[in-house]
Structure formats: structure tokens, C-alpha cells
Structure 1
Amino acid sequence: MSVELADKATHKVHVSAPAGVVYALIADAVNWPLHFAPSIHVERLEFDGERERLRTWCFLDGRLKSWTSWRHLDPVKRRVEFRQELPAAPLSALGGTVSVTPLGPHTSELELLYDFSVTGGLPDDVAWAERATDGHGRIQLAGLKAVAERWTRLDELILTFEESVHVNGPAELVYDFLYRAGDWPQTVPHVTRAHLTEDVPGVQRMTMETLTEYGTHTTDSVRICFPHAERIVYKQTAAPTLLEAHTGEWSVVPDERGVTVTAQHTVVLREESIAAELGAHASLAQARRHVREALGRDCRVLLAHAKQHAESAVRML
């Protein structure tokens, strides 16, 4: 006979930002990986304007977990209700509410209430669930507070751009090249080392070393692969000093002449590192241009090799 243990908790934090700004950040779950270190990827599966269904990949107490959940968005009350549909084991249920209360034109209170249960009652499972949910809740609130309080600067700190190339070849060959990132050091000049593991099908952990004009950089990433959609999304869990966060997506879209391969990058600049990395007089605008050029250059090299890989294979057939 299994025993189900339940618990609930409340966390609050004051935020020096308008309540509307704070609520907008809560509602925009798809962009949470940009702002919360443990969050890797959020995929919106359904949305009708009020209710949405999400698939989330996230670190909980150091473990990479995935779950699906429903959220009900209420912008009038600035309140979001959530309930996990398929919780991450050993949790058997988790849900709650996040709400924002205005305290003034530029201050607000953010409150998280949640409840959870663990089936089985094993002491290690219960201890992990308590530690993971409490830690995750505190990290989320701290992250929301930190981001919201920079709300007047976010548009300047966040940079999104794309690079693309057309390939006269099948999508499967292009996706194969992108999926097998562990082989990139053999073909891509600026990638000097890549260690890739895939303990869970479709979820890759990768450490990659690249050569740049400023020396060698090592990055750690989690990559979520969608082979049927021929997409790979990723987040760097250890990014270069100039970046606070870096997320991206590789997509392969067929057309009548082959496929278009697109690489999308979104980064959050670490403003306090600009002087150390680019010089004492470097501006935020210069940092944006530098990051755009550096990432774009490396990205174009990877896209060129993906194109060569697919088109060479086609010519050999």
C-alpha cells in the first residue's frame, strides 16, 4: 500500500518594478530560460488566450527534469494558476498560484503559493522533493525580481538574431549533422573539442571548446532534440563571460528546392563584464555589435558545413 505525503508553502518578495511588468514576465513562460538559470527550455503545446499547456525542461536541485503543466492566466488580477499534468518523479502532484500585488506605481509584491505530494513516502524522495520545490520557488522569485528591476534596460540587454542558409539536399542529412554535434571537431575549424552525452533520448548534454580571436572558450549546453520536427533547441548552462544567458534553436524547413536551415540566437548581455572584456570605454552598443558579429560568424561556419555535409552526400548517391 503506497502512502502519499503532501506539503504546501508560501514565498513572498518585494520588487522595485511596476506590477504590470512583473506579471508580464510571469506570463511569458517561453522566455524563462533567458532569465532563470535552472530553466532550460519551455515549449508551448496549447494556448487559447487564457489557458496554456507547457512542456518544461529544468534543473531541480541539480537534476535535469521534465514535466507538462497547465496554466490559467488572469491579467486583470495579475494572477497565474498552475498545475503539473505529468510531474517529474518522485513528485506525484504539484500546483499553485503566482500573483502580483501593486504597492505603488513602481513597487509590487510577488507571491508564490504551491502544494505538492510524493507517493511512496521514502525518506530520500520526500527530502529531495522538499529541497527541490523550495529551492526552485526561491530561485524563481529571485530571478523574477532581478529581471523585473532592470525592466527599463531589458530591450538593450537582450539581443535576438538569425542566420540561415539554403541547402540542396534532404532535411534528414542536415538534421543529422546538427544532431551529431560531438563530431564537429572533425569538420568545423573553430570547434576544437566537443563531448556529448545523451542519457535520455533526445536530451543531450554537451561541453564544447571553441577557438576565438580572444582565445579558447569552453561552454556547457543542454540540447533538446525534436527529430520529427527537425528542430534542436539549446541553452548554454555555462556561457562566455560577456553573456548572462544564451539560448538558441536550429530548425530545418523543407521547400520545393531542398531545405532552409535557420539558426536563431537570443542572448542577455552581462553589462558589468563589458569593460573587462572589451575595454574600459566600450559601450553597450559596442558589446551588442561584438556579440552579434562573433556569434554570427561562428554560426555561418556551422551552417556552411551543414550544407556541405548534406550536398556532398547527395552527390555521392
Structure 2
Amino acid sequence: MARTATRPTVHRSEHTLTVTAPAEDLYALVADVRRWPAVFEPTVHVCHLAREGRTERFEIWAEVNGEVAHWRSHRVLDPRRLYVSFRQEHSRPPVTSMSGGWLFRRPAGGGTEIVLRHRFTVADDDPAAVARVEEALDRNSARELGALAALTGTGHAVDDLVFSFTDTIPLRGSGGALGAYTFVERAERWADLLPHVARVDLTEPEPGVQWLEMDTVTADGSTHTTRSARICRAPEWIAYKQQRTPRLLSGHSGEWTFAQTSDGPVATARHTVAIDPSGITEVLGPEATTSDARAYLRDALGRNSLATLRHAAEADQRV
């Protein structure tokens, strides 16, 4: 007699947090995955694969239990119900399936209850694997709910605090896009080649995943330390997420891209930042505003990334 295969146990988790922010503002943050690396601490990078109507597919890299995990997700957005459903297309072992949803309720007493639900299965219903997944969900869900509460509870409009900008330069050197990519990828040499970099510690636990700790010298001569996770996809792009940010920021992510255009090869640096309003007057003075912080960050971050791009443009002479 043929044996009947047993279905894996579906495990469920639910994490909630009630905040004062409007449900629509919270939904908008969750719906826009392009902002996630700057908003949600675990998220390193998101790359869209397809978008049509209310559905989308994307690749996502995120920190899970101290490592960078990677998967593809499918989502359906429902702005009328303020609901976002998701499922992983290919989960990372020992997880065999993962799905869930974001829901934003309006309690009778006011505010918004954020609800984050997960459903998952693991290979062979291994209890140890279930415990590890539940631990990761508990930790990352709490961080994500906390990030939403913190960003929407500052008294400032989210769009004033979270913004993006880009700088692009042509690559005139004979190394072209590949030479520029190699210069940025080999960041362990930056302390010898870039005037704004004082120290670099680069490790690569697996191909294409890097951890970069760096001391950067600011325009006033002071030094701050950042630590970033980097995802490298030769020869087209390198994405990064700062795990340790300067005082003025609650989040900072970015991407270096290298492309061949009709006018020749170009390199682009893109930044997405989330300002920490509590640091504005401490860093910029008692009269400083969010507008001052935006201008300061645009100048400081843009200046450093442009310096890196200009050196990358001469990569054929330096690498």
C-alpha cells in the first residue's frame, strides 16, 4: 500500500504594535519597498523584478540571525483595505514556504494598530529549525514595527525625513564600467586611494556579500565610523546598507551602478536616507531645521560619493 505523504505543519506568528500615526501613512511606507533599506533595519537591498497594477515581484536581501539572506517575494497591495499580502517564491532552507501580510487597523480609541503576520513551513518539521525561524521573526518583526513607529512618530512628515538623490559621471578611462566596478568592489584599498577614507576593514563571508567598516573624514576634519552590508553583482551594481550610521541619520542605503550608454560608460551613486530629527540641532546647531539637514546630507554624502566615482573613473590607472 502506498504511503500517504504528510503535509508539513504550518506555523503562524503575529506581531502587533499600536501607534499614533495615521493608517494611510503607515501603509504607504510598507507599500513602497524602495524605501525599506533606509527604513527597516534588517533590510539590506531590494530589486524590483516586475510590477503590474497592484502586484509586484522583487528580490530582497536582509539580515537574518546575523547573516545576509536572499529570496524573491510576490506581493499584492490593497490600498482600500490597507492590506499588503506577501509570499516568498523560493525560500531559503530550512524554510520551505513563507507568506503573510501587513494589516493596519483603526482602533476605537484612536491611532493605528499595525499587524504583521507570518505563516511558514520548514523541512521535515524540524523543531530546532522552527525555533530558529520563530526567533528570527520575533526579532526582525519587532525591529520593523519599531522603525515604523519611530519614523511616523517624530512630528515631521515622512517625505521630509526620507529622501533619495543620485549623482552620475561619465567614465572616460580605458577601464570603462568594469574598471570602475572593480574599484568600488575592492574597497579594502580605499584608505590608500580616497582622501575622505581613513580606515577600512572589509570581509567577504561568501561571494558577493561583504561587510565593510570604514572611518570617514568629514569636511570639518572630524571622523565617524560606519558599518555596512554590501551586495555585489558584477559588473553592474553594488548595493549597501549602513548598519551603523552617523548621528544625523536613522537609516542610510545606497547603490553604485555601472552601465554602458549611447554616450559611453557611466557610473551612478544613489543614496536613500532617513533623517533622525533628534540629531539635527545636536549636529547642525540650535536653529537648524529638517531643510538644513537635507541640504547638509545632500552635500556631504554627495561630495564623498562623487570623490569615489571620480577615482573609479580612473580605475584603469589605479586597480
TM-score (norm: length of structure 1): 0.89
Q: Displacement, 1:37?
A: 0.9
Confirm whether residue 184 of structure 1 aligns to residue 187 of structure 2: no
CA distance in 2 between partners of 1:3 and 1:126 (Å): 15
- Give the structure 2 partner of residue 128 of structure 1: 132
Q: Displacement, 1:112?
A: 2.1
CA distance in 2 between partners of 1:297 and 1:198 (Å): 27
Match among 84, 88, 91 for residue 84 of structure 1? 88
Q: Displacement, 1:190?
A: 1.8
What amino acid is aligned across from residue 238 of structure 2 in structure 1?
Answer: I
What amino acid is aligned across from residue 110 of structure 1 in structure 2?
Answer: I
Match among 215, 220, 231 for residue 224 of structure 1? 231
- Give the structure 2 partner of residue 20 of structure 1: 24
Confirm whether residue 244 of structure 1 aligns to residue 220 of structure 2: no
Match among 60, 73, 78 for residue 77 of structure 2? 73
Identify if the C-alpha distance between structure 1 residues 42 and 151 changes in structure 2 by more than 3 Å, giving closer, same or farther.
farther
Q: Displacement, 1:38?
A: 1.1
What amino acid is aligned across from residue 270 of structure 2 in structure 1?
Answer: Q
CA distance in 2 between partners of 1:90 and 1:42 (Å): 22
Match among 186, 197, 210 for residue 216 of structure 2? 210
Most deviating of 196-205 and 238-247: 196-205
CA distance in 1 between partners of 2:203 and 2:182 (Å): 16
- Give the structure 1 partner of residue 277 of structure 2: 271
Identify if the C-alpha distance between structure 1 residues 5 and 176 changes in structure 2 by more than 3 Å, giving closer, same or farther.
same
- Give the structure 1 partner of residue 293 of structure 2: 287
CA distance in 2 between partners of 1:149 and 1:186 (Å): 42
Residues 107-158 of structure 1: per-residue CA shift (max 9 Å, x gap) = 3222222211221344432221111122222322222233333474222222
CA distance in 1 between partners of 2:137 and 2:125 (Å): 16
CA distance in 1 between partners of 2:247 and 2:259 (Å): 33
Residues 180-221 of structure 1: per-residue CA shift (max 9 Å, x gap) = 111111211221221212222211111111222242211101
Per the alignment, in what secondary structure is the counterpart of residue 120 of structure 1? helix
Identify if the C-alpha distance between structure 1 residues 112 and 296 changes in structure 2 by more than 3 Å, giving closer, same or farther.
closer
CA distance in 2 between partners of 1:23 and 1:54 (Å): 18
C-alpha contact (below 8 Å) 1:17/1:151 kept by paired residues:
no
What amino acid is aligned across from residue 46 of structure 1 in structure 2?
Answer: A
Counterpart mapping for 1:86-235 below 5 A: 86-103=90-107, 107-150=111-154, 152-168=156-172, 169=174, 170-212=176-218, 213-228=220-235, 230-235=236-241
Confirm whether residue 298 of structure 1 aligns to residue 280 of structure 2: no
Question: What number of residue pairs does the alignment pair up?
Answer: 312
- Give the structure 2 partner of residue 49 of structure 1: 53
CA distance in 2 between partners of 1:151 and 1:4 (Å): 46
Residues 79-105 of structure 1: per-residue CA shift (max 9 Å, x gap) = 111111112322121111221223479
CA distance in 2 between partners of 1:276 and 1:252 (Å): 37
Per the alignment, in what secondary structure is the counterpart of residue 302 of structure 1? helix
What amino acid is aligned across from residue 133 of structure 1 in structure 2?
Answer: L
Residues 25-70 of structure 1: per-residue CA shift (max 9 Å, x gap) = 2211221111111111111111111221121111123332111111
CA distance in 1 between partners of 2:53 and 2:41 (Å): 27
CA distance in 2 between partners of 1:4 and 1:188 (Å): 53
Q: Displacement, 1:235?
A: 0.9
Stretches of structure 2 that go unaligned for 5 or more consecutive residues are none
What amino acid is aligned across from residue 52 of structure 1 in structure 2?
Answer: E
What amino acid is aligned across from residue 54 of structure 1 in structure 2?
Answer: F
Most deviating of 101-110 and 122-131: 101-110
Identify if the C-alpha distance between structure 1 residues 91 and 238 changes in structure 2 by more than 3 Å, giving closer, same or farther.
same
C-alpha contact (below 8 Å) 2:163/2:272 kept by paired residues:
yes
TM-score (norm: length of structure 2): 0.89
CA distance in 2 between partners of 1:24 and 1:175 (Å): 34
